[in-house]
Structure 1
Amino acid sequence: MPGSPSPPPVPSTSGSMDPPPSPPVHYPQRPLPVPPSVTPVRSSLLLPVPPPVTPLQSVPDKNYTGSSYSGQVGRSPSALKGKGITIIKMLEEIKSELHTLHTKVNRILVNQGGQNQEDLTITEEVALPISSIDKLQELEGHLSKVAYEKYLVCSLGAIGGSSLQDTIRRIMKRVLHQSVAVTTNWTGKGGKTQFGILKLSNAIIKAVRMNHKCAESTHEEVECGMKEWFRGAADRNGGRLKRQKHPTAPNK
């Protein structure tokens, strides 16, 4: 308005005319992301780093035979053959020692039964296998002595066998020679010597049953095996061909 006085100027502290300060602007602050918690790994769980592997150097062997290394992994065929021969010799020595041991044990058993020196002398005089009917009758006379029968049973029982038939075959072959076996049968049929009534037959039955594999065999089963052995006596040692040319009655 003309003629009105103007307002007085506002005094400034700085000595100059500055605009008034603007109010502060507040911006919203976003929360900082919290990192996931990490469990520190203990040093005891860390696997050690393996040392570097040094490759093995192949050393040629002069004794390599194509299947084994001599002196290290295996032996050459010649060395194995020599070793096998040595083992066979050792087994033969062991078998001989066992046979000697069986004989000694049998003598001890007989001595416990009351056998005297005279009986031992008779034992040495009777040679097996029996090669004649006269020797067979002589052996029958000796078997009337209980101590002698025990000695013979123990001696024949030490022969053994893998089965009943094998044990009978081995003992009968040890007792009777082929020449006596073909003239003997169990019943005496055909004019042959009757083996079933001899004391020797009972001694053989006892000897067969000494084998632990034949301990449960009956008296009849052993008799049947002995009869079967006599039936085949004529066929052994080439007798079958001779019998085909000159038929004879079979042993029974």
Structure 2
Amino acid sequence: MKAVKNAVSPDSSFKEFNIDIMYDSDTYERAREKLKKAEMETDVNTTDAEADLTEKRKRIPTTRYDTSDSEGWPSPPKKACVSPDRTVKIVHNDKSKEKGTKDMLPRSPVVIPPKSVIGSTSKTTLFSAIEGERRKDKTPTSGPSATDLKILLLLEELKNEAKLHTKLLLKLGRQTEKQISIPSLPEGITFPISNLSQMENIEEKLADEEVVNSLTANLCLVGGDSVESNVRRVMSHTLSQEVALEYNWVGKGAKKAFEKLRLKKVILDAVRGSRQGSTNNEIEKTMKEWLRYAKDREGGRRKRMTKKLQQQREENENAM
């Protein structure tokens, strides 16, 4: 072997043998690497480039772990460091391979849900019930807190107030039922007043307080969009055009004073009852304007304009 290792050239002293050349190499080390392979195989020829390649790494089977519970996991085995000159043989236990690693892991505790939520399709309800069962086991029972007592007191007060409001509503409902009936005009009174004789008759009847109250309630139903509108509607409802032309507010000239009539007070009370917050001043102001412009209503202004134009035409004719 020394002669081979030292690459000694053969001479006449060397014996001759019949051999099969399976592989040749320029170095003794590479030829030595093929020795073990030559004992098992007949073809060991490889190129120098293939010989330079690093021996393939042996695969080590990975161990699988159960991810159902993160607590109590065994630490993964450390990889064995294999030097290039040595071969390490790793032996796996067949029993652990058959049973798996689940037996090595601790099992998580099983929580049985209460019967009230078994079969429920809501996950939130199930989780809430389970959490409630856990809390019952952990926290001891205790009396109501200060906040709970305060809430109970507030609820009791609200309950009493609700009872009081119910009684008031029932009482108002009974009163409203009595007032629903529309008051009719007193006997012997009709609107609008068409002449001065009828006005005098009504003034006599208004000396009775019951007649005043009944007539006021009836005129409250006339209504209007505003105080001014309400006053004009009531005045037009009670007085005809002929009677309105006979009155002004203070009785100036040949006309009678509307301010002194009992009917004026009835109209004031009716408008105040219909329009809350209205004053006598604004109501009387609208009544004065309504009486002042009575002659312009129902074509009165057109008649006056026509009469005035006719007078001017006659004067022009006379002047010519």
Normalising by the smaller structure, the TM-score range is: 0.5 to 0.7
Residues in 1 aligned to 2:191 and 2:20: alpha-carbon distance in whole angstroms? 156
Find 2:297's aligned residue among 233, 236, 243. 236
Query: 1:188-207 to 2 correspondence within 5 Å?
Result: 188-207=251-270
Greater share of helix: 2
Q: Secondary structure at the match of 1:165?
A: helix
Partner letter of residue 283 of structure 2? V
What do residues 40-66 of structure 1 show as CA deviations (whole Å, max 9, x unaligned)?
xxxxxxxxxxxxxxxxxxxxxxxxxxx
Find 1:134's aligned residue among 167, 181, 197. 197
Residues in 2 aligned to 1:152 and 1:225: alpha-carbon distance in whole angstroms? 20
Alignment partner, residue 106 of structure 1: 183
Alignment partner, residue 282 of structure 2: 221
Residues in 1 aligned to 2:294 and 2:245: alpha-carbon distance in whole angstroms? 6
Instruction: Establish whether residue 28 from structure 1 lines up as the match of residue 53 from structure 2.
Output: yes
Instruction: Establish whether residue 159 from structure 1 lines up as the match of residue 165 from structure 2.
Output: no
Instruction: Establish whether residue 168 from structure 1 lines up as the match of residue 231 from structure 2.
Output: yes
**Is this contact kept in 2: 1:143–1:200, CA < 8 A?**
yes
Partner letter of residue 238 of structure 2? V
Residues in 1 aligned to 2:279 and 2:187: alpha-carbon distance in whole angstroms? 31
Q: Using a 3 Å threshold, how does the CA distance of structure 1 residues 169 and 21 change in structure 2: closer, same or farther?
A: same
Partner letter of residue 8 of structure 1? F
Quick check: 20-29 or 172-181, which moved more?
20-29
Alignment partner, residue 16 of structure 1: 19
Q: Using a 3 Å threshold, how does the CA distance of structure 1 residues 30 and 234 change in structure 2: closer, same or farther?
A: farther
Q: Secondary structure at the match of 1:155?
A: helix
Partner letter of residue 132 of structure 1? N
Q: Using a 3 Å threshold, how does the CA distance of structure 1 residues 129 and 20 change in structure 2: closer, same or farther?
A: closer
Partner letter of residue 226 of structure 1? M
Partner letter of residue 194 of structure 1? A
Residues in 2 aligned to 1:30 and 1:183: alpha-carbon distance in whole angstroms? 135
Query: 1:77-156 to 2 correspondence within 5 Å?
Result: 104-106=181-183, 123-156=186-219
Q: Using a 3 Å threshold, how does the CA distance of structure 1 residues 6 and 236 change in structure 2: closer, same or farther?
A: same
**Is this contact kept in 1: 2:193–2:240, CA < 8 A?**
yes
For structure 2, the residue ranges without an aligned partner over 5 or more in a row are 1-10, 26-30, 35-47, 58-177, 309-320
Q: How big is the shift at 1:10?
A: 4.1
Alignment partner, residue 180 of structure 1: 243
Alignment partner, residue 77 of structure 1: none
Query: Larger Cα Rg: Structure 1 or Structure 2?
Result: 2
Q: How big is the shift at 1:21?
A: 4.0
Q: How big is the shift at 1:137?
A: 1.1
TM-score, normalising length: structure 1: 0.55
